[in-house]
């Protein structure tokens, strides 16, 4: 199978694995047996991340043994800095949402290639949001998003809404008065947020609090593939597979909103 088919397969299967594991844990949690209840809490707390990572590690070893894999749950080996092909994965993005029974967790699979001219060098990406039965991939036909007259909807982190949100809302309402009041939608995983924009349930997402490459690589790939604007909060392209894996900020939105949001964030 080619790289796109592999990414899609792994995102779909890992998502199904996580949903099945959580359903099993919830069944244990409802038991009157205290041992079962403790086991359920362990599964929901950390086992999902580990099981998903182990499954993906086995699959990459079998299907792409020459490639480097960068995973949130794995060794952050420096071999990736000399590699031409690096899979950047998050086996479970949105652990808090997963463990609490939410539907806004995701599986991220992305391929970074050194010689690529694609945005941020991401050539392959799949994002599964299994509790919503969604699977987004860069091998799908491109969707183009055109300006609308509907109210602007901004996605923010459930746990850490950006401190600049009020300034951004003010600037957007001044620039697009015909679109009415801006709506704020809290959501978990970055993959789930980008999926919501692609599904036309939202228009923009930004984060100025910092996160890591595995949180972003696959959602960035599918967003850019579909014509969304993907930059940092100053309007610059995001670099990936760096020595420092921290990504300070991100803005993903419909293109007509980019300059207004960047202007608000700069000020």
Same domain for 125 and 158? no
Residue 224 domain-assigned (yes or no): yes
Same domain for 117 and 215? no
The answer to whether 229 touches 146, Cβ cutoff 8 Å, is no
Same domain for 129 and 189? no
Give the DSSP H or E segment for 16.
helix 3-29
The answer to whether 115 touches 234, Cβ cutoff 8 Å, is no
Residue 15 domain-assigned (yes or no): yes
The domain of 174 spans 153-266
Q: Identify each DSSP E strand in the chain by its residue range.
A: 68-71, 85-93, 106-113, 122-129, 134-137, 153-157, 183-187, 204-207, 211-212, 229-231, 246-247, 250-253
Q: Which residues contact 109 (CB under 8 A, 6 or more apart)?
A: 7, 10, 11, 56, 87, 89, 124, 125, 126, 127, 218
**At which of 106, 137, 168 does a domain end?**
137
Same domain for 171 and 202? yes
How much is the pLDDT for 32?
A: 54
For residue 154, which phi and psi values (nearest 5 degrees)? -110, 130
Same domain for 132 and 159? no
The answer to whether 76 touches 89, Cβ cutoff 8 Å, is no
Same domain for 115 and 224? no
How much is the pLDDT for 36?
A: 46
Residue 32 domain-assigned (yes or no): yes
Same domain for 157 and 132? no
Same domain for 133 and 70? yes
Residue 253 domain-assigned (yes or no): yes
The total number of structural domains that make up the chain: 2
Same domain for 57 and 161? no
Euclidean distance between CA atoms 202 and 198, whole angstroms: 8
Residue 147 domain-assigned (yes or no): no
Euclidean distance between CA atoms 143 and 72, whole angstroms: 30
CA–chain centroid gap for 249, Å, is 13
Give per-residue burial for 41-50: e unless 16+ CB within 10 Å, then b. eebbeebbbe
Same domain for 96 and 179? no
The answer to whether 127 touches 15, Cβ cutoff 8 Å, is no
DSSP letters for 184-198: EEEE--HHHHHHHHH
Predicted structure pTM score: 0.88
Q: Is 87 helix (H, G, I), strand (E, B) or coil?
A: strand
Question: pLDDT 10s per residue in the chain (267 long)?
Answer: 899 999 999 999 999 999 988 887 766 555 555 554 555 556 565 677 888 999 999 999 999 999 999 987 766 666 777 788 999 999 999 888 887 888 999 999 999 999 999 989 999 999 999 999 999 999 988 776 666 778 999 998 877 778 889 999 999 999 999 999 999 999 989 999 999 999 889 999 988 878 899 999 999 999 999 999 999 888 899 999 888 888 988 999 999 999 999 999 887
DSSP letters for 146-177: ---SSPPEEEEESS---TTHHHHHHHHHHH-G
Residue 225 domain-assigned (yes or no): yes
Domain CATH number, residue 233: 3.40.190.80
């Amino acid at each position: 199978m080619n790289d796109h088919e592999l990414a899609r397969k792994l995102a779909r299967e890992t998502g199904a694995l996580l949903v099945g594991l959580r359903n099993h844990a919830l069944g244990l949690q409802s038991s009157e047996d205290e041992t079962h209840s403790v086991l359920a809490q362990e599964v929901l707390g950390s086992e999902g991340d580990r099981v998903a990572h182990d499954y993906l590690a086995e699959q990459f070893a079998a299907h792409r043994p020459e490639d480097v894999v960068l995973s949130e749950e794995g060794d952050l080996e420096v071999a990736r800095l000399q590699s031409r092909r690096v899979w950047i994965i998050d086996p479970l993005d949105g652990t808090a949402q997963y463990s609490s029974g939410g539907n806004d967790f995701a599986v991220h699979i992305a391929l970074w290639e050194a010689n690529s001219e694609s945005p941020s060098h991401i050539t392959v990406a799949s994002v599964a949001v299994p509790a919503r039965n969604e699977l987004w991939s860069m091998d799908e036909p491109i969707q183009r998003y055109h300006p609308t007259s509907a109210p602007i909807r901004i996605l923010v982190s459930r746990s850490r809404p950006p401190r600049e949100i009020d300034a951004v809302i003010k600037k957007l309402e001044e620039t697009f008065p015909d679109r009415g009041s801006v709506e704020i939608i809290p959501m978990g995983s970055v993959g789930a947020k980008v999926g919501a924009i692609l599904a036309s349930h939202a228009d923009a997402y930004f984060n100025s609090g910092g996160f890591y490459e595995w949180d972003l690589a696959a959602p960035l790939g599918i967003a850019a593939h579909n014509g969304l604007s993907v930059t940092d909060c100053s309007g610059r392209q995001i670099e990936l597979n760096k020595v420092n894996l921290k990504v300070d900020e991100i803005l993903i939105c419909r293109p007509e909103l980019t300059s207004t949001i960047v202007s608000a964030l700069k000020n």
